[in-house]
Amino acid sequence: DTAVSQTPKYLVTQMGNDKSIKCEQNLGHDTMYWYKQDSKKFLKIMFSYNNKELIINETVPNRFSPKSPDKAHLNLHINSLELGDSAVYFCASSQVQSLGGELFFGEGSRLTVL
Amino acid sequence: RKEVEQDPGPFNVPEGATVAFNCTYSNSASQSFFWYRQDCRKEPKLLMSVYSSGNEDGRFTAQLNRASQYISLLIRDSKLSDSATYLCVVNILLNTGGFKTIFGAGTRLFVKA
């Protein structure tokens, strides 16, 4: 069983399109995240949700809109895709009550904008 | 200044060598510390937590110096399978009582036969 699963794994699309990436975790964790890893391999947090409530929203263009229908799911919708959006997007989850809680990552969704 | 800084490497070492990675963090509200490992085209995975007293897990030893805001990872008797990127990770306590996890850019290690 995959603990954190995200789909699709690969996404190739044209500039200006709208796309979504879905994420689900079966660990019973309270907190879910979206991270972006660019071509320089720098992993940067985008959003964090705790029990469906947004708790971290870094400086991300408002073309990016996360949605959490329940605490096991956190989807990422991207409008009007730009070349600079090309990256690997990782979903992750953790048990927020524990400050030392491990982050469990999905396998990543590689987005290529042409 | 980046919140978490690491030497990007790459470190090229022969099998059996001992290699050390360093990491510094800038936010004094940093509460907990970790090393993650990321293989090429894979997701990051927790390698070990870092405790103030220092801790060891097999060939891996992690150290934390809060006064200097410095974290280290020592790998002894390197194996080919240790080749990966090692990410220094810091949890920062927020005013809301929650925390934010910040990743360093990673240090690449290549272990050669």
Q: Which pLDDT tens digit goes with each residue over B9-39?
A: 999 999 999 999 999 999 888 888 999 999 9
pLDDT at A100: 57
The residue among B40, B4, B38, B37 whose CA lies nearest residue B22 is B4
Query: Would the CB atoms of B102 and A45 count as touching at under 8 Å?
Result: yes
Confidence of residue B105 (pLDDT cuts 50, 70, 90): very high
Q: What is the mean pLDDT of residues A2-23?
A: 96
Q: Does B106 touch chain A (CB under 8 A)?
A: yes
- Which amino acid, one-letter code, is at B68? S
> What SS3 class is residue B68?
coil
Q: Does A106 touch chain B (CB under 8 A)?
A: yes
Order of all β-strands in the sheet with A19-25: A4-7, A19-25, A73-78, A64-70
Query: Would the CB atoms of B31 and A99 count as touching at under 8 Å?
Result: yes
Confidence of residue B58 (pLDDT cuts 50, 70, 90): very high
Interface test with A, best of B3, B6, B37, B43 (most A CBs within 10 A): B43
pLDDT tens for each residue of A26-66: 999 988 999 999 988 789 999 988 887 887 777 789 999 99
Nearest to B43 among A50, A96, A107 (CB): A107
CA A71 – CA B67 distance, rounded (Å): 38
pLDDT at A28: 92
> What SS3 class is residue A53?
strand
- Contact between B15 and B112 (Cβ < 8 Å): yes
**Distance of residue A17 Cα from the nearest chain B Cα, in angstroms:** 25
pLDDT at B98: 72
pLDDT at B53 over 90: no
The distance from CA B57 to its chain's CA centroid, rounded to whole angstroms, is 14
Identify all chain A residues contacting B96, using CB atoms and an 8 Å cutoff: 55
Q: What is the mean pLDDT of residues B64-82?
A: 96
Query: Would the CB atoms of A45 and B101 count as touching at under 8 Å?
Result: yes
Q: What is the mean pLDDT of residues B62-75?
A: 95
Contacts 24+ apart (CB under 8 A), A8-14: A8/A109, A9/A107, A9/A108, A9/A109, A9/A110, A10/A109, A10/A110, A10/A112, A11/A109, A11/A110, A11/A111, A11/A112, A12/A112, A12/A114, A13/A81, A13/A111, A13/A112, A13/A113, A13/A114, A14/A81, A14/A113, A14/A114
pLDDT at B97 over 80: no
Q: What is the mean pLDDT of residues A4-32?
A: 96
Nearest to B105 among A41, A96, A107 (CB): A41
Determine whether B88 is exposed, middle or buried from the number of CB atoms within 10 Å of its CB (0-12, 13-18, 19+): buried
How many residues can be counted in chain B?
113
Query: Would the CB atoms of B32 and A100 count as touching at under 8 Å?
Result: yes
Could you tell me which residue, B80 or B102, shows the higher pLDDT?
A: B80
Q: How many CB pairs under 8 A join A and B?
A: 55
Query: Would the CB atoms of A103 and B46 count as touching at under 8 Å?
Result: yes
The distance from CA B39 to its chain's CA centroid, rounded to whole angstroms, is 14
pLDDT tens for each residue of A59-111: 789 999 999 999 899 999 999 999 999 999 999 999 864 555 789 999 999 99
- Which amino acid, one-letter code, is at B102? I
pLDDT at A1 over 70: no
- Contact between A62 and A81 (Cβ < 8 Å): no
pLDDT at B29: 82
pLDDT at A77: 97
Q: Does A10 touch chain B (CB under 8 A)?
A: no
Q: What angle do CA A85, B26, B53 make, to 5 degrees?
A: 115
Query: Would the CB atoms of A105 and B43 count as touching at under 8 Å?
Result: yes
